[in-house]
Amino acid sequence: MTRLYLDHNATSPMKPAVKQAMIDALDLGNPSSVHKSGRLAKAAMEQARAELCQAIDAPENACTFTGGGTEAINMALWGMVKRDKDPVRHLLVSAIEHDAMINTAQAIEQAGLAKLEFIPVDGEGLVDGVWLLARAKELQSEGVTFLASIMLANNETGVVQDIEALAPMVFTHGGFLLVDAAQAIGKMPLSFNRLQADLMIVVAHKFAGPKGVGALMIKPGLVLAPLMQGGGQEMGLRPGTQNIAAIVAMGAAAKAIDLGQAHALQALRDDIEDGLGSVPDIKIWSKRVPRLGNTLCFSSPGFAADVQVMALDLEGIEVSSGSACSSGKVKKSHVLQAMGADSEQAGSAIRVSLGWDTPDTAPQDFLKAWKKAHARASKTHAA
């Protein structure tokens, strides 16, 4: 059976050129060594850093390579609450952040280092700017140093936040801004300089790079407390010998970003969306606001998400019911619940996410398989 992979927001398979770049870098030496092998490895690593920073319009001295997005989140949040100068004592985290962000913020609150509050969102998944501005003013008046964490593009619905409009609400009241751009990179224009965030996270396997490598972009001059002590690599923030092969591949993936191709995926996504229009009670999430062109999240009440995922898998089509970072569990989306979804809607939501290897026939293949499964489920319920 030829399989159709429509779960790129979970992980996007490596492009052939990226995989080859990783293979070619496997024999590189230790970039901390001063001999020729070490210098070659260091040069390859710094070239990858430059390629990544060029792709996201960031200064090269802002980039710290990490072991992935979760590590970058921990480095950012713990680094800000534990730093000696002006440590953060209040975390404002949007209600639709990734579990890794929410769980880390909760751990910090449990440790007594900072208080956590969730920034509400509306029914389309957009951050409530009125609430954010009012809370930022209150925290400033109380003399509390705070950090706001707002993801640029949501991994489940694809909704894109207007960071450039929200950022001044944070900055003018003395706050810091952390932007999770893991899903945005490679799918939409991305500029660290333009967003002016203090911290920004990108992850390689979300844009056709390898798993297990990411980067935390840190505004030059901002000092974080390191999570670990060691040999001083990555400006002392991420000690330990760097994963050169993965870093080189991340640079190659950044260099291979094709926003024209990403934009073309929207037409395929829209074809799927249009094809679902005739199905009663279908709910398309975040349809009326800016979304990633590759992402479609919809609910079909009465047709449980896990049943949909399994039925499609049997037909050779791979989708998900939301985030893939929950040990394979299928659970109701906290993102949709924060947007006002009822239990039936949240429990029947699946995500379709297209990518660089999605064929033009994907809409018709998906719709044929999904409608077949939906019809079968409807007959079962009727019986």
Same domain, 45 and 162: yes
Sheet strand arrangement including 214-218: 63-66, 214-218, 199-203, 176-180, 146-149, 90-94, 115-119
> Which amino acid is located at 99 in the chain?
D
pLDDT at 16: 98
pLDDT at 235: 86
Task: Centre a 10 Å sphere on the Cβ of residue 279 and count the other Cβ atoms it contains.
Answer: 16
Of the candidates 308, 306, 291, the one whose C-alpha atom is nearest the C-alpha of residue 353 is 291
User: Coil, strand or helix: which one is 180?
Assistant: strand
pLDDT at residue 138 above 50? yes
Cβ atoms 179, 139 nearer than 8 A: no
Cβ atoms 17, 248 nearer than 8 A: no
Domain ranges, residue 352: 4-12+258-382
How many structural domains are present in the chain? 2
Same domain, 216 and 331: no
Same domain, 36 and 121: yes
Which stretch of 87-96, 141-150, 318-327, 361-370 has the lowest confidence by average pLDDT?
A: 318-327
Which residues are marked as active site?
325
- Rounded CA separation 181/195 (Å): 11
- Which tokens sit at 86? 């002006």
pLDDT at residue 190 above 90? yes
Q: What is the pLDDT of residues 76-106, one digit of tens each?
A: 999 999 999 999 999 999 999 999 999 999 9
> Which amino acid is located at 345 in the chain?
Q
> Which of 230, 255, 280 is the C-terminal boundary of a domain?
255
User: Coil, strand or helix: which one is 318?
Assistant: strand
- Which tokens sit at 150? 């707002």
Same domain, 134 and 264: no
pLDDT at 332: 77
- Rounded CA separation 200/208 (Å): 19
User: Coil, strand or helix: which one is 148?
Assistant: strand
Same domain, 51 and 94: yes
Of the candidates 63, 69, 58, the one whose C-alpha atom is nearest the C-alpha of residue 45 is 63
Q: What is the pLDDT of residues 208-233, one digit of tens each?
A: 999 999 999 999 999 999 998 998 89
How does strand 214-218 pair with strand 63-66? antiparallel
Q: What is the CATH number of the domain that holds 326?
A: 3.90.1150.10
Average pLDDT over residues 113-121: 98
> Which of 255, 270, 288 is the C-terminal boundary of a domain?
255
Same domain, 172 and 69: yes
User: Coil, strand or helix: which one is 25?
Assistant: helix
Average pLDDT over residues 48-53: 98
Same domain, 211 and 281: no
- Rounded CA separation 86/146 (Å): 10
pLDDT band at 327 (very low <50, low <70, confident <90, very high): very low
Q: What is the pLDDT of residues 333-370, one digit of tens each?
A: 999 999 999 999 999 999 999 999 999 999 999 999 99
Chain-centroid distance of CA 98 in Å reads 7
Cβ atoms 253, 204 nearer than 8 A: yes
Same domain, 198 and 276: no
Sheet strand arrangement including 349-353: 283-284, 295-299, 349-353
pLDDT at residue 172 above 70? yes
Those residues whose C-beta lies under 8 Å from the C-beta of residue 236, and which sit 6 or more positions away, are 226
Per-position b or e across 104-138, b if 16+ CB within 10 A of its CB: bbeebbeeebbeebbbebeebbbbbeebbbebbee
- Rounded CA separation 215/257 (Å): 16
Q: What is the CATH number of the domain that holds 152?
A: 3.40.640.10
pLDDT at residue 317 above 50? yes
Percentage with pLDDT > 70 across the chain: 96
Classify residue 181 as exposed, middle or buried by CB count within 10 Å of its CB (0-12, 13-18, 19+). Answer: buried
pLDDT at 381: 63
- Specify which residues 349 forms β-bridges with: 299
> Which of 193, 228, 255 is the C-terminal boundary of a domain?
255
Same domain, 107 and 199: yes
Report pTM: 0.95
Same domain, 209 and 271: no
Same domain, 213 and 263: no
pLDDT at 232: 86
Same domain, 21 and 8: no
